[in-house]
Each structure stands twice: as structure tokens, then as C-alpha cells.
């Protein structure tokens, strides 16, 4: 599957009544598509995956597939209890999605072969990128095993253990050279120099959701953005749990699209932090020449 460039993870908009705002989601994705992302990952972490009902998840994926209309791959988040993950996978397939980003299952943990069975069941419906984060911490040999399962096409790393990832990349590519690896850390641009050093070029860009001009300027090699935009953004992100999502949604609102608030247990960005974010966006856009 051809995935390249910046990967777009849209937020999930909610209206004043708290319901899914489908038209706003469509506009959000239309605006992002104008900047040429390499793929659209809807209803994933930035899209408040864990806060969506199955019906909201299905509608979000359908909206994304309709707007993208086959121009780039569309992936949907899936995960949680096996029944829920399978329902999400089937709904995504019916909507025309190209694949799934498989989140870690909640609470229940089993041995490695149990997790492999979980992955295999979902990958039988649509191609799967496994998300390594939280309780899912995989040894290189386990990733080689997963890469051999039908339908498993990639691994997204949300741990940031470069030593583990280097060993994993080497082990997997020796057997499956086309297997995909992604940097899935929050504000991934800051760590991309390290990931590129071990052969991982793909990454999820939360910044693309609210400032695609900045994300694309960084992709073209403007290293000033690391010190003057991304590093301060990471410091701001670390001030409150949940800010990796809340800040992105606030950023989209600051750029003129009312995508509503986040759902609990996430919290809204404080007024002071919102001012910091607005100033950072201004700096980033100036550096990007926008």
C-alpha cells in the first residue's frame, strides 16, 4: 500500500449538542486534502477514538471515505474488546476504508499468542497497522510473527524506545522488506531525526490537522521549526494529561473551524495555554512563509 508524505489524523468534531458534527468533519477533511496528505487516518487517537460510539465511529469513517474518494488511502481506528474491534472493522470495510490502525485492547492482557490471535481476527477483515503503545510492548521476534500474519502490513510505534525499534526494524525487514513502520509518538516531528536514523520515514502529524503549512514546511527540511515551534509545542503539550489531543482540537478552532470541545475524560485547554498555542501557531506560520 502506498503511504508517503505527511499522514493526516483529523479531529472528530462535535456540535453544541455534543453530537457528531458530520458536515464539519467533512469540511475539516476537505481542507486537509487541499494540502496533499499521504493518507487520512480517521477516528484514531487524535480523533478521540475511545470516546466514540460504534455508530459515531462508522459515520466518521463513511464521511472520510466519501470526501477522500479514493485519492489517498483511508485508515480507520479500531480496537478495544474483540467484538467492538470486529464491528468497527466491518463498518470500515463497508464504508470503503483501505485499512485499520489497531489500537491496544483494553484491560485484558494475555500472552503473545493471544494478542496475535486478536490481531489476526481483525486483519482478516481489513489490512491492519498494529499500534504499539500502552500495554502493547512487542519484542522484535513478536513483530516478525505479526508481520507474517495475513493482512498485517505495519507497526506504528508509540513507545519511543529507539533501541527496541532498531532491533525490530532490522529483524522484520530481513524477512518482510515491504513491512511498514511509523513513528507514532505525539508531535512526532520532534523525534523524526532519530527515527529516520533507524530507517523509519513515515509518521503521524498531529500538527497537520491544524497547521498543514507548518507540517509541510518541516517535511521540506526547515529545521528552524524544530527549535522555534515543535520543541515549545511539546513543552506545552506536557503540561496537562490529554493535551496531545486537546491542543490539536483547540488549534483547529484557532484556525477558524468550529470543531467543538473534547469529550471527557479529556479537558479543554486553559485560557493561558490557549494564548501560548496561538502564539506558537503564529510563529510556525511565519517560519513556514504562510
Q: How far out from the chain centre does Cα 198 lie?
A: 20
Catalytic residue among 118, 131, 203, 218: 131
Measured CA to CA, the distance from residue 195 to residue 202 in angstroms comes to 9
Measured CA to CA, the distance from residue 127 to residue 153 in angstroms comes to 6
> Is residue 203 a contact partner of residue 195, using CB atoms and an 8 Å limit?
yes
Phi, psi of 120 (to 5 degrees): -60, -40
Measured CA to CA, the distance from residue 62 to residue 40 in angstroms comes to 12
**Which residues on neighbouring strands pair with residue 182, listed in sequence order?**
156, 202
Is 220 annotated as catalytic? no
> Is residue 43 a contact partner of residue 77, using CB atoms and an 8 Å limit?
yes
Catalytic residue among 118, 156, 195, 218: 156
Residues taking part in catalysis:
131, 156
Amino acid at each position: 500500500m502506498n503511504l508517503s508524505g505527511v499522514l493526516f489524523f483529523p479531529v472528530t468534531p462535535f456540535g453544541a449538542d455534543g453530537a457528531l458534527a458530520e458536515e464539519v468533519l467533512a469540511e475539516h477533511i476537505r481542507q486537509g486534502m487541499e494540502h496533499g496528505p499521504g493518507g487520512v487516518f480517521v477516528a484514531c487517537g487524535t480523533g478521540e477514538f475511545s470516546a466514540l460510539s460504534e455508530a459515531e465511529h462508522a459515520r466518521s469513517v463513511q464521511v472520510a471515505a466519501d470526501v477522500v474518494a479514493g485519492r489517498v488511502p483511508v485508515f480507520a481506528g479500531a480496537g478495544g474488546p474483540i467484538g467492538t474491534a470486529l464491528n468497527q472493522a466491518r463498518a470500515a470495510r463497508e464504508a470503503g476504508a483501505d485499512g485499520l490502525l489497531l489500537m491496544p485492547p483494553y484491560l485484558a492482557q494475555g500472552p503473545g499468542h493471544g494478542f496475535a490471535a486478536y490481531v489476526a481476527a481483525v486483519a482478516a477483515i481489513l489490512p491492519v497497522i498494529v499500534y504499539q503503545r500502552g500495554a502493547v510492548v512487542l519484542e522484535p521476534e513478536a513483530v516478525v510473527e505479526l508481520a507474517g500474519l495475513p493482512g498485517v502490513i505495519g507497526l506504528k510505534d508509540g513507545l519511543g524506545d529507539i533501541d527496541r525499534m532498531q532491533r525490530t526494524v532490522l529483524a522484520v525487514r530481513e524477512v518482510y522488506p515491504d513491512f511498514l513502520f511509523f513513528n507514532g509518538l505525539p508531535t512526532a516531528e520532534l523525534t523524526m531525526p532519530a527515527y529516520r536514523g533507524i530507517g523509519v520515514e513515515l509518521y503521524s502529524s498531529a500538527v497537520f490537522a491544524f497547521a498543514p503549512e507548518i507540517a509541510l514546511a518541516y517535511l521540506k527540511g526547515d529545521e528552524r521549526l524544530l527549535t522555534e515551534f515543535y520543541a515549545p509545542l511539546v513543552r506545552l503539550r506536557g503540561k496537562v494529561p490529554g493535551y496531545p489531543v486537546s491542543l490539536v482540537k483547540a488549534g483547529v478552532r484557532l484556525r477558524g473551524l468550529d470543531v467543538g470541545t473534547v469529550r471527557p475524560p479529556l479537558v479543554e485547554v486553559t485560557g493561558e495555554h490557549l494564548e501560548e498555542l496561538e502564539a506558537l501557531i503564529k510563529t510556525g506560520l511565519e517560519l513556514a512563509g504562510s
